[in-house]
Each structure stands twice: as C-alpha cells, then as structure tokens.
Structure 1
Amino acid sequence: MPAWNDYKSEAKSRGALALELYAVVSTPTGDPALVKENLPDHLAYQAEQESLGTLFLAGPMSDETGAQMQGTGLIIYRTPSLDDARTLADADPMHSSGARSYVLRRWLVNEGSLSLSVGLSTKSVDLG
C-alpha cells in the first residue's frame, strides 16, 4: 500500500485534482436528549466554521436503505492538515459534549463536477 503523500503525488502526476479534504463521520453515542440539547450550539459552530471557510459541506445521512434517517452525519472540512481537522471536530459541541463520536478520514478528491447557477436579478442560487 502506498503512503498517503505518495498516493497524492501520483494522482497529481496523472492530472487528477488531488484536493485533500477531511471527512468526519459523526454518530450519536446513545442519548437522543443529549444530541437535541447540543443541537443549537452545534449548528452555531457549523455556521462559524462555514464563515471562516473551513466547513466545506455538512449534513445528515440516511441508513443503508435510503429510507430512514439514523442520526449519522457527514462533515467535510477544508483545512491545511489532518491535525487541524481533528481540532475542529473535537471542538464541535456535539463531540466535545460526548453526544456524538466521530471517525476522521482524509479524502482525496480527484474527479467529479459541480454546477452552480447564480441569478443576479433574482438573487437566487442553485447548486445542481
């Protein structure tokens, strides 16, 4: 198995984007009341990270069937390092309170597309 930096260098050499982001998979630790209690502070923290440019994307995920919300969340951070992403995840009120635990992974974005439509006169944005 190649080391992370070797893999990233190889991806860049073949023309891939090789954008390094950090994925946090967050799961409840068992007490729904503790999750609900920390939700306002968690959302404020997420808004703060968004305004600072460190929060790339975040939101809840379904179960494997796609039919039920199971409480798992996905947070993608844009930071200089894995350690910086861990510091952000640790500081999230959901994690620091013990309401949720998380697994942190590096994510190397190589392919895909993103469509964005901005209506200037309508002041609308469509992410497609």
Structure 2
Amino acid sequence: MGLPVKDVMQASSRMLQKQLYAIFTTPTGAIEPILANMEEHLAFQVSLEKEGILYAAGPMWSDDEQTWDGDGMVVVRAGSRAEAASIAERDPMHKSGARKFTVRPWMINEGTVTIRLDSSSQTFSIL
C-alpha cells in the first residue's frame, strides 16, 4: 500500500525535491550483443550529457562486486516518465534489443556533491 505522492511532497517540502528519472537497463540475453553495441551506446550517453539531459549513468556490478552481467542505470532529466522512456528507447542498446529497460521516477531530496578545484594546476575532482 503506497503513500500518495502529494503526501511525500508535502512532508519533504523544505528539501530539494528535484524530479529525475532512473532508467534500469538489463540484458535480454548473452553479453556479446551488449559488447557489440557498447561504442554506440557510450556515444549516445555522451550526447545526452552534452545536451544537459544525462544526470548520471554507469554499470551495476554483481552484489559481490566481482563481475558485470550487463546491467546498468541511467538517470536523466525529463519532463515526465513518458519522456524519459522515449529517451531510453533511443539508446542503441535498447534499439538493438541487446537490453531492455524500466523507468522509475526518482526525486532527490537529500545528499551532497563535493567538487575540489585546484587553481594552480587547473584541475578538479569530485570527492
């Protein structure tokens, strides 16, 4: 039994309430088609990043952190769940059938991002 979204929004009204969409992507079969589409997939991800759509993305390891079975997660900025699904459908991994996906709305309320900028070397790092 779920709590209505409006109640969650009201309870966290003083927090960020940044609405994003998490795309969980999983293999439809063997790993070979995923590897075959990897270059195009990564180029697509970079294009989303340059457009300001991509919030974060990357592979999801096994629970023991020792292997990768082809799963990934992509978090996008979109106006709706349907728009996020449309973005996912354009991914070469999904277009080729190497992976399937599900989209879940995700609201950021808490957390931090720390960026270190070293002026002398003109470098930065995310801590």
* Length-normalised TM-score, structure 2: 0.90
Q: Look up the match of 2:74.
A: 75
Q: How has the CA–CA distance of structure 1 residues 11 and 45 changed in structure 2, closer, same or farther, with 3 Å as cutoff?
A: farther
Q: Look up the match of 2:103.
A: 104
Q: How far, CA to CA, are the matches of 1:64 and 1:7 in structure 2?
A: 33
Structure 1 contact 17–110 (Cα < 8 Å) conserved: yes
Q: How has the CA–CA distance of structure 1 residues 122 and 72 changed in structure 2, closer, same or farther, with 3 Å as cutoff?
A: same
| Count of aligned residue pairs for this structure pair | 126
- 5+ residue gaps, structure 2, are none
For residue 22 of structure 1, what is the amino acid of its counterpart?
Y
Q: CA deviation at 1:8?
A: 5.1
Matched, 1:41 2:40: yes
Q: CA deviation at 1:49?
A: 0.3
Deviations for 1:58-113, whole angstroms, at most 9, x for unmatched residues? 01111122222222111000112111111100100001110001111011111111
Structure 1 contact 62–72 (Cα < 8 Å) conserved: yes
Q: CA deviation at 1:16?
A: 1.5
Higher fraction of strand: 1
Please list every run of at least 4 consecutive aligned residues from structure 1 whose deviation after the TM superposition is greater than 3 angstroms: none
Q: How far, CA to CA, are the matches of 2:101 and 2:79 in structure 1?
A: 20
Structure 1 contact 11–18 (Cα < 8 Å) conserved: no
For residue 27 of structure 2, what is the amino acid of its counterpart?
P
Q: How far, CA to CA, are the matches of 1:11 and 1:106 in structure 2?
A: 18
Identity %: 33
Q: CA RMSD in A?
A: 1.5
* Length-normalised TM-score, structure 1: 0.89
Q: Within 5 A, what are the aligned runs for 1:1-128? A: 1-4=2-5, 6-7=6-7, 9-13=9-13, 15-128=14-127
Q: How has the CA–CA distance of structure 1 residues 11 and 88 changed in structure 2, closer, same or farther, with 3 Å as cutoff?
A: farther
